Structures are given as C-alpha cells and as structure tokens.
Amino acid sequence: MMNQAFSIDYFILLAGLLLVAGVITAKFSTRLGVPALVLFLLVGMLAGSDGLGFIYFDNPTYAQLIGILALVIILFEGGLQTKWSTIKRVAAPSLSLATIGVILTSSGVAVAAKFILDVSWLEAFLFGAIVGSTDAAAVFAVLKGKNIRKRLGSTLEAESGTNDPMAVFLTISFIELLVSDQPNYLFMLGSFFWQMGLGIVFGFALGKIASLAINRINLDSSGLYPVFALAFALLTYSVTALIGASGLLAVYIAALVIGNSDLTYRHSIFRFNEGFAWMMQILMFVILGLLVFPTQLFDWDIIIRGVVLSLLLMLVARPIAVFLSTIGMGFSVKERTFLAWAGLRGAVPIVLATFPMIAGLENSQLFFNVIFFVVLTSALIQGSTISYFAEKLHLTGTQKQTPLHSLELVSIGKANAEIIEIEISENNIVANQSLAEIAFPKDVLVNAIIRQGDLITPAGDTRLQAGDILYVLVAKQSKQAVKTLFADKEPMLD
C-alpha cells in the first residue's frame, strides 16, 4: 500500500515539475528565438529513459490518445480566436493549400522518401502523407503576437486549422492499402467526401447548438460556462468521429461558429480555453518527447536521411505545392515565398507517425524517428526565422499591441446586465468621436478606457482613439445594439 501511494505521489510530483518546466520554457522561448514546441520536446526527451531517466514511456497508443485530445483543444482555441470577417477573405487560398497543397506536398516528399528510405511506393506515400500538413499548434503559437501582414497570417492560420483532416485521411487510407489484401479505391474516394462534407456540416450545426445553449442556459457559476463550451468541443469531435467523419475539421468549424457568436461570459470562455490549450500543448509535446529515444534518433543514418528529407520538404516540396495551389489568388511572388517558408511541421506529423506503429507496419519505427527529426529541424529552422523572413521580404504590417492591462471582469450573477469588452480599431465607426457624440442606448455605462496600458476615467469629452479598449456595462437587451454601434467598417486585408 505504501509503495502504491509513493508511486502516485511520485507521478503527481513529476506532472507538476513537467508543467513548471513547460511554462518556464514558454517564457524564455521568445528570448532565445526558438519556438516553444522545440523546448517542450526537449524537456520530454530530457526526462525520458535516455535522458535523466525519470520516466520510461514507450506506448504509442497512449501518446496518440493524448495527442488527439490536445489537438482538439488547440484547434478549438484557435478557432475561437479567429474572426470570420477576416478568414472568409482567405477561404479560397486556405482551402486550396489545405487540400491541393497537402496532396502536392505529400507526393513530392513521397518521391524523395521512396529512394532515401528505400521503401515501397505505398510506404513512401504513407510517409509523405504523415508530413504533408502544417501544424495548427505550431503555427498558432509562432504567429501569435507577430506583425505579419494580416492576409498572410490569416491564410496560414486557416490552412493549419483545416489541413489536419486531409493529412489524417491520407495517412489512414495508405495504412489501409498496406494492410488490406483487396483495397477498394472507389470506397476511399467516397470516404473522403463523407469525412470532409459531414465534418463541415456537423461542425456548423453543433457550433450553432453550442452558442445557443451557452446563451440560453442559466448556470449558477460563471466558471461553468468555459467548461460547458469545452464540453461541446469534445462532444463535436467524438460524435463526428464516431460516424466516420472528420472530427478535427468539425471542431475547428464549430469553434469558428462559437467564437464569432455573441456569447455570454465570452471573456471567461476565451481566457479559460487559452490557458487550457497552453497546458495541453505542453503536455502533448512533452509526451511526444518522452516517446522518442535520443539514442535511436541521433543516429548518423537517421540524421542524414532526416536532414535530406527535411530540406527537400522545406525547399522543394512545400514551395512547389504553395506556388501551384495559389495560382490566380492574388499573392505576389514574395508572399507565396513566405507562405512556403512558414509551413511549420509540429505535433500532427508526430501523432500521425504513431498510427503505423499501432498498425504494426514493418518500417514504423524508422518512420517515427525520421519524422520526429524532420519536425525538429522544421521547427528550429523555419519557426525561428519567420519574423526575419517577413521583414526581409517587407511583408510586415502594423505592430500588434499586446494588452498591458489586467482587468478581471466580475460576474453580475443573475442580474440582467453584464460588462463587455470592446476594442476600437482604425476602421471602427466611432473612432475619433467623443463619448458625448455617440448615441448610446439607455442603461449603458462606459466604466473604463484602457489606452496604451493606462487607465483613463471616461467623461463626455473623452475622444476615442484606435487601440482603446472599453469596458462597458450594458443591459442584456441592449447588448446587440451596443455591438452594432461599435462595429467596424468593412475591413481591408493588407
């Protein structure tokens, strides 16, 4: 009994230490110029049996479970933060990159893998499918806070949020071809439209239901609303996946619908999911780091093959795919070059690399080690140079401002009012107007204005400026009127 209690306490201690290490590495990753995911992976590798020996972990099934769960949370948080008014203007190039781009990238890598890894054509295309998609966790994390042009950043975020289903579909399809005696190609084509089509339909429908439920239900504690929203994310993935459709695509679509709806306790829902997504990102990358054994990874044979495949992916396959899949979509050569370079690989290829291991394919361990090395080099080389490339190509926009304030919104309980947060942009209708000039509905009070980190007490002659953040006390029946009053003009993507 004592030994069992000690094991539980030891496990909890390790979990706490790993989370502390993850948060600290995230803090210093920006200063070091290295994406946080690389440091998370290194923490896992250091804690593993080939490192300090704290944890022995070699179970790809558990790693896949944790990885998929983390991806659901990360995609949900990314979708919540994405404005539909922005993403709908990059829908065409994003979808083209997420489908045609993934197929072209996978095919290019497959041709190289056939000869470099000395495997069959089907195995080569399986390898290409696994590394064919960019990674949402990596892209969201690297682009957050960067002043990349809005159109480019939105395209990359939308692509990474929607191309995972294509990579999953291709990976599972090639595994089925490898293990099946009589593969049915026509069935696979039908499966593709089934997965993508129902993924979109279920994501949109469940997103609408979630938004309605969050606003209509009257919970006793405001802390339950973020949990309720998260529950819908898990429900959306599981229900969609159980009918054989793309759960990851459904989660991202549902998050877009929820995030662009007028939500009760919106601030609490967003902040909770942002923190939880960070925790899942740390956990996922640490677990994936534990799964790899550095003595196997840093073998000269793996290093040479991994470097060659990684360079071909970054410098040949991805650029060709980007230039071909964005023809006629209004991108300049410089912009397409940047889109090609910013195609980060991250957790998704490593998680997908566990699928062949679970299926018991012959070269699954070789695939996992090479793919891990490809991800590591992609994150290190591309992830740490995205800002540099954007500046050199003159593709930076207005510097994004990180809010310096810390104002906690207090729940008003069951009162028929709430405090909402409104940010004034350059395109805002009321920008440069004084508060006295704005025709507020009744029962509306501007409580505070945050301007460049300073608190300003609002008065009638206070003139609003771009970048101001307003905290407005409003009756619930007037909430939509206030939102309309502070709406942006039609935004332009640079």
User: Would you say how long the chain is, in residues?
Assistant: 494
Question: With b meaning 16 or more CB within 10 Å and e meaning fewer, what string describes 16-31?
Answer: eebeebbeebbeebee
Per-residue confidence (pLDDT) for residue 408, from 0 to 100: 44
Residues 6+ apart with CB under 8 A from 310: 373, 374, 377, 378, 381
| 187 pLDDT tier (thresholds 50, 70, 90) | low
**pLDDT for 40 beyond 50:** yes
Long-range contacts (CB closer than 8 Å, 24 or more residues apart) made by 384-389: 384/33, 384/34, 384/35, 385/341, 386/142, 386/143, 386/146, 386/148, 386/341, 386/342, 387/146, 387/148, 389/338, 389/341, 389/342
Q: What is the mean pLDDT of residues 130-157?
A: 75
H or E segment at 423?
strand 417-423
Spatial CB neighbours of 357, under 8 Å, sequence gap ≥ 6 = 60, 364, 365, 368
**Residue 94, pLDDT score:** 87
Site of tokens 């997420």: 98
| Residue 148 pLDDT exceeds 80 | no
> Does residue 403 carry a pLDDT above 50?
no
User: End-to-end CA distance of the chain, in Å?
Assistant: 64
The pLDDT, as a whole number, for residue 492 is: 47
Q: Report how far residue 483's alpha carbon sits from residue 486's, in angstroms, rounded to the nearest whole number.
A: 5
Q: Map residue 56 onto helix, strand or coil.
A: coil
Averaged pLDDT for residues 404-432: 64
Average pLDDT, the chain: 80
Confidence of residue 2 (pLDDT cuts 50, 70, 90): very low
Please choose, from the candidates 209, 189, 190, the residue with its C-alpha nearest in 3D space to the C-alpha of residue 201.
209
Could you tell me what percent of the chain has a pLDDT over 90?
13
Residues 6+ positions from 317 with CB-CB distance below 8 Å: 104, 105, 107, 108, 109, 112
User: Which residues, 6 or more positions from 92, have their beta carbon under 8 angstroms from its beta carbon?
Assistant: 329
Q: Is the pLDDT of residue 205 over 90?
A: yes
Residue 3 has a CB neighbour count (10 Å cut-off) of: 7
Query: By the 8 A CB rule, do 286 and 44 touch?
Result: yes
How much is the pLDDT for 406? 43
Q: Tell me how far CA of residue 49 lies from CA of 25, 52, 54, in angstroms.
A: 21, 6, 7
Model confidence, pTM = 0.76
- Count Cβ atoms below 10 Å from residue 273 Cβ, excluding itself: 25
The string of pLDDT tens digits covering residues 356-372 is 888 888 888 888 888 88
pLDDT(304) > 50? yes
Average pLDDT over residues 478-483: 76
Q: Among the listed ranges 23-32, 167-176, 440-449, which one has the minimum average pLDDT value?
A: 23-32
The residue assigned the tokens 């009070």 is: 445
pLDDT at 402 over 50: no
- Tell me: pLDDT of 182 over 80: no
Q: How many CB atoms lie within 10 A of CB 69?
A: 15
Tell me if 305 sits within 8 A of 370, measured CB to CB.
Answer: yes
The Cα 236–Cα 234 span in angstroms is 5
Per-residue pLDDT, 415: 57
pLDDT for the residue 445: 81
Between 409 and 352, the more confident residue is: 352
How far CA 178 is from CA of 9, 30, 120, 173, 343, in Å, comes to 44, 42, 10, 9, 28
- In this prediction, residue 246 carries a pLDDT of 86
Whether 493 shows a pLDDT value over 50: the answer reads no
Of 137 and 74, the one with more pLDDT: 74
